Amino acid sequence: MVALNKFYPHPNSRNRHQRHNHSRSQHYARYDRYARNDSQQSDMGSNLSGSLHLSRKNNLNSSSSPKQIKSAKQKKRAPANSSRSNPNPNRKKTRVTVSTPLKAMWVIIGLLLTIGSTFLQPSIAIPSWTGTTGTIEVEPIKVTLQVGAVLLTGCLGGKGAGLVSQILYIFLGLSGFAVFYQGGGIGYLQEPAFGYLLGFIPGAWVCGFLAFLRPANLERLTVSCLGGLITIHLVGIAYLFALRMPDLATINELVFRYSVQILPEQMFVVCATVVVATLFRRLLFY
């Protein structure tokens, strides 16, 4: 019987061997799982940012809609300093525009203002005290209101209206109409002051461009008028150099007469223009 059991084992012994092998395989599988967990934890410690990115991506793909996935990708692609440069990304930059009929109206008004202001001399009221009584003296300013008319057209009509109105003004003067301060005609091209008249064209454009970048206020219109005035003088000085080169002594004298000497008085005209333009922009609601 013992010999038979040696060659023919009992069926229960086979089951015991199978259970033993199964428990051994479970033990090895558990060991492998622990080893994999340890390796994953070490990789997670070394590559924390990458694992977090993968987990977010998996969670997003499994639980989010396509729109949410697209918005998340767009947020990821946005630069890190976008919030600093634009604290409110939903806010759109508002740029003021003028309708075409209003531009055409300001072209005509700007032309008439430039022609009429050529022969008008502004004055300034200065209070003075003599003894115990106070009086107000009116002192004339040695400039015309042409610059004020040019800048006012740009502030109220925009860059297009200012540009076209001054082109028409120069064309009328060179055609022979006495709309310039000393007459008109093609011979006016040889006058030193013609460069400043020619500067009305880019000056009105610059003033109108700056005035309509944002909604109107006192600071915005002041910057636009100063930009237009500087442009007029730069073009005028460049024309003097082109007309009188290489006579530098004459150029210095003309620059002092047409730019340096009258620039402080033109600042009074600019201040009045800014105030009038601000009031009109508020009344016209643009």
Check if the beta carbon of residue 266 is closer than 8 Å to that of residue 151: no
| Domain architecture of the chain: domains with CATH | 100-284 (1.10.1760.20)
- Mean model confidence pLDDT for the chain: 78
pLDDT tens track for 32-61: 565 565 555 555 555 545 554 555 555 545
> Which DSSP symbol is given to 139?
E
pLDDT at 165: 97
Distances, alpha carbon 6 to alpha carbons 1, 2, 16, 20, 86, in Å: 9, 6, 16, 20, 88
Residue with structure tokens 């008008």? Answer: 120
Check if the beta carbon of residue 111 is closer than 8 Å to that of residue 169: yes
pLDDT tens track for 54-99: 555 555 455 555 555 556 556 556 554 444 445 554 555 567 787 8
Q: Is the peptide bond before 246 cis (omega within 30 degrees of 0)?
A: yes
